[in-house]
Structure 1
């Protein structure tokens, strides 16, 4: 059986009064409480076979804490609920793929659930029929909010380097789904003052927009996106446009640290449109066409260690066409990448390929074929394990030879040992062919080798293997944090064809232990990682232990 991997994460919802006022659409509401069907309902198959249609749609948006539960009925949780701006019912309704009068279809209800769960401002979502009379089905849509406001300070440490941020972030402004962030951050590469705005439902539509303005210590960044995506498997058309204007200092790394720097002025514009016949059986096929302008100009970085040589300028401009094929096959799981939260895994095959032609007729500085593609699948190896495999390729063909081409593949295995224990392993590899100087492959503490400094190795190929035992405890302190743990072994290497010549230490290994804290009531980072990693190789100048603090969307 072939599958493809895609992940979203959410957790279980408990319905309760909590001053909830159900919002109803469709015909006049009946006398039944939304959570209490008066009789046994027909099965989904029976409803569909009988030609049932959607009648009343009852929307129940629960607050952060369930005050009807004595364990959550305290002054702090009540105050939190009072201060929190609940998600607006119209925002929930506009994300549903069904309306009153539509034919009852469990597949459409399930896909609507997944769409709702993909929002970071929801803890979970559940959609189910609660009554059926005269061929009309009353459907309940139940969601639970999370806390989405973060005014304050954040800290992250990985690869021996710290990242700090003072910010004001709101993921669900006034319950409208709008995200805003004002931040001052400091990373190993730069400090930045930024403003970010995003919304996936402008004016109650399917239009998505994202804006970023950043003034950085080494330049600036401006970006904008406006699109109507393929938001569902049966979506018939999509279109969008984006631009990025990014001035920055890029760094080349050797084992001793920074080996060279150069200034990059990158501008990219992309406009596209797409169409589809929708979902046919188990498959959706989508076609896209578009035009890209991709310009990168380079200069010596002012006042810093120069790079010798500075990369040559690169200007690409090309029309392109692409095709995407998606299989409708999904499952819900728990305790894989999250702790006691519902996770959506796509088990269907996914394929995407695109091809473009860059020419001076379009304003480019070279003739090139620009290509990209990906393929994903999975294998249900046993009843207790699943293997997810993904591969990708992108690059250019210039003068009959590949340029700046990256080929990559990775596999992830989840093996369930018990309710509380899972064995996770991951193997990935990347191969670069005639990479541009600003696209070297690096490996270190920030991207998999947790026992080593960041960007400790560089080259035109890399490989990484991780073996991790994951423990999901039943601890739930203060009903705020789910507790888990991990023991791990990492082994990897980046080598060959680097732009900086330095001794090759070969394959690097580390072992480590970590604590995982699943933040159940906040949408601002789902899992806090606290890791101690111990390198087994490398030169004697590196630290004998790395302490890592990160916040991620997964275990």
Structure 2
């Protein structure tokens, strides 16, 4: 989970646990346990509060008006505010209207209104989403009020706090010309790597339900490219989704010990996938089940590093190991995938968690996913294999302005003749408490959010290119980047976040 990086007081601790590797039977039992956990929580679900517009269900929607407010309200005086409002191209009404799940002439449905609010809040270029309903006999009139945000973000920075020198410059726009499209261009230097990055995202390709995302990174040690075209689930009312994506990586891989590289290799990774998902729900306000099938190809090839690879990373070959036994084994998995997801919507809306005063939605209901990837030799895999993944998330309210949310996850690979490979058990827990604004006499001096996070990664028989690292760049403050390495990782963080704006 992302956290604010400024003004945090943190305590983090890491510990390594050693034990014997679990057997296949133990892993299957653990996988089954994680898979059945959601049903243990069914009785503990809290009944949702009835929405104040529930009594208007069935009335005909006569009109829907949309008001898009400037970044700064008219009450904000000063030429700077007026200049910013004038420079920013306002989000276009058609961008807002196409996201609405409610339509003029249809019967009003309170849940559709509730879902529309969530959909609009998910748009990163909008804030202060308000939907109001005015009844008039057998009709209702709906008003949608949103507020623009400043979306053209210049990026310029330099840091050495984690033991690594970082430089970056770039620009990002998330509401290009008011159409809601995102574009980024940037240059960065880090770890002797120089990167030029370009990103493009169109959440409504040609005004359709389809979403397009593409990225390309050119580095001095190789290149990375990503492409995705899909029709995502935007709300619990959607009945189907599909997606196609590809990821191609040709870079130098590195293994670390005590913060320094001790072995490097050339890696070529190719991931391709397609999926089609059906959503089934008698009452999507209460629970949703999703069934997905598709095809995936994961191809990983590893080669010895060349002299040029060492030069690209400014490394001295004499100071690193050259044992080919350290090089990861080639892998190829190809075959059908099957996924099941069970969701109980129970959202809480809060600001001052990750995005300052921007309100975000967090699902405290059950979200359970399990995926099976069958990869036999018959379909081009290196070995008969089954890859399985299971994840469970659940949250609870903890008083006014507070909530906690936890996740359990398990992933593993079973290969013929090799048994369990690349297995991982992980858990993560977060707690947030948002306090009221603080004042000194009549002057606003900030807001506080208490946040704590706990995470545990426990791996066994991991692939050689999969290494857990812990340091300043992964949340362990007070240490250099990649100070610790291993196949087990524990992290505890306690923060008092202070927001001065």
Normalised by the length of structure 2, the TM-score is 0.81
**Residue matched to 2:420:** 402
2:472–2:478 CA contact under 8 A, matched in 1: yes
Question: What is aligned with 1:153?
Answer: 156
Q: Distance in 2 between matches of 1:306 and 1:172?
A: 48
How much does 1:258 deviate?
1.5
Structure 2 contact 255–262 (Cα < 8 Å) conserved:
yes
SS of the equivalent of 1:241 reads strand
Corresponding position of 2:251: 248
> What's 1:315 paired with?
332
How has the CA–CA distance of structure 1 residues 283 and 398 changed in structure 2, closer, same or farther, with 3 Å as cutoff?
Answer: same
Answer whether contact 1:262 1:306 (CA < 8 A) is retained: no
For 1:475-494, list aligned pairs within 5 A: 475=500, 482=501
Aligned to 2:349: 332
Deviation (angstroms), 1:442: 0.9
Residue of structure 1 equivalent to 2:429: 411
In the alignment, structure 1 residue 55 sits paired with structure 2 residue 62: yes
**1:58-137 correspondence runs (5 A):** 58-66=65-73, 68-69=74-75, 72-129=76-133, 131-137=134-140
1:178 positional shift: 1.1
* 1:386–1:150 distance in 2 versus 1, CA, 3 Å: closer
If asked which structure has higher relative contact order (CA below 8 Å, sep 6+), I would say 2
Describe the superposition over 1:270-311 as per-residue Cα deviations: whole angstroms up to 9, x where unpaired: 011111124625001111001111111011222224553211
Could you say if the C-alpha distance between residues 247 and 98 of structure 1 is closer, same or farther in structure 2, counting changes exceeding 3 Å? same
Alignment partner of 1:446: what SS? helix
Q: Kindly provide the CA deviation profile for residues 217-275 of structure 1, in whole angstroms up to 9, marking residues without a partner as x.
A: 11111211000011110111111101111101111111151111111100110011111
Alpha carbons 1:317, 1:364 under 8 Å: kept: yes
3-state SS of 1:424 partner: strand
Q: Distance between the aligned counterparts of 2:383 and 2:204, measured in 1? A: 39
1:441 deviation in Å? 0.9
Find the counterpart in structure 2 of residue 386 from structure 1: 403
Secondary structure in structure 1 of the residue aligned to 2:356: coil
Instruction: Note if 1:361 corresponds to 2:361.
Output: no
Q: What is the CA-CA distance between 1:458 and the residue it aligns to?
A: 0.8
**What per-residue deviation string (whole Å, max 9, x for no partner) do you get for residues 126-184 of structure 1?**
2121x222321111111111111134524455522233222232111111111112222
Alpha-carbon distance in 2 for matches of 1:337, 1:183 = 23
Counterpart CA distance in 2 for 1:88 and 1:445 is 41
Within 2, Cα distance between the matches of 1:360 and 1:231? 37
Q: Residue 259 of structure 2 contacts residue 482 of structure 2 at CA under 8 Å; is this kept in 1?
A: no
Displacement of 1:109 in angstroms is 1.5
Q: CA deviation at 1:98?
A: 1.2
Structure 2: segments with no counterpart, 5+ residues = 4-50, 311-319, 438-446
The structure that is helix-richer by fraction is 2
Mapped to 1, the partners of 2:60 and 2:494 lie a distance apart of 49
Q: Evaluate the alpha carbon distance shift between residue 354 and residue 466 of structure 1 in structure 2; reply closer, same or farther with a 3 A threshold.
A: same
Quote how far apart the aligned CAs of 1:397 are: 0.9
TM-aligned CA deviation for residue 416 of structure 1: 5.5
Q: Is the 2:352–2:434 contact (alpha carbons within 8 Å) kept by the matching residues of 1?
A: no
Tell whether 2:487 aligns with 1:460.
Answer: yes
Q: CA deviation at 1:189?
A: 5.8
Determine the C-alpha separation between the residues in 2 that align with 1:366 and 1:226: 30
- Measured on the aligned residues, the alpha-carbon RMSD in Å equals 2.2
Q: What does the per-residue CA deviation read over 1:303-324, in whole Å, with 9 as the maximum and x for residues that have no partner?
A: 2245532111111112110111
Pair 362,444 (structure 1): closer, same or farther in 2 beyond 3 Å: same
Tell me, in whole angstroms, the C-alpha distance in 2 between the residues paired with 1:291 and 1:396.
Answer: 17
- Alpha carbons of 1:307 and 1:315: their partners in 2 closer, same or farther (altered >3 Å)? farther
Distance change >3 Å, CA 287–CA 454, structure 1 → 2: same
Task: Give the superposition deviation at 1:340.
Answer: 3.4
Alignment of 1:369-384 (within 5 A): 369-383=386-400
1:295 match? 299
Counterparts in 2 of 1:242 and 1:189: CA distance versus 1, 3 Å: farther
Q: 1:426 aligns with which of 441, 453, 458?
A: 453
Paired residue secondary structure (1:110): helix
| Structure-2 separation of matches of 1:6 and 1:236 | 30
Give the conservation status (yes or no) of the 8 Å contact 2:363–2:395: no
Q: Alpha-carbon deviation of 1:112?
A: 1.2
- Residue 346 of structure 1 is matched in structure 2 by 363
Distance 2:116 2:193 in 1: 40
Matched with 2:235 is 232
Cα contact 1:387–1:414 (8 A) shared by 2: yes
Q: Give the secondary-structure state (helix, strand or coil) at the position aligned to 1:56.
A: strand
Contact 2:2/2:354, CA 8 A, preserved across alignment: no
| Structure number with higher strand proportion | 1
Q: What CA distance in whole angstroms lies between the structure 2 residues aligned with 1:307 and 1:226?
A: 41
2:474 corresponds to? 447
TM-score by length of 1: 0.73
Structure-1 separation of matches of 2:295 and 2:274: 6
Contact kept, 8 Å, 1:276 with 1:286, in 2: the verdict is: yes
Once the two structures are overlaid, the 10-residue window that deviates more, 154-163 or 321-330, is: 154-163
Give 2:169's match in structure 1, choosing from 160, 166, 169. 166
Contact 1:262 1:307 in 2 (8 A): no
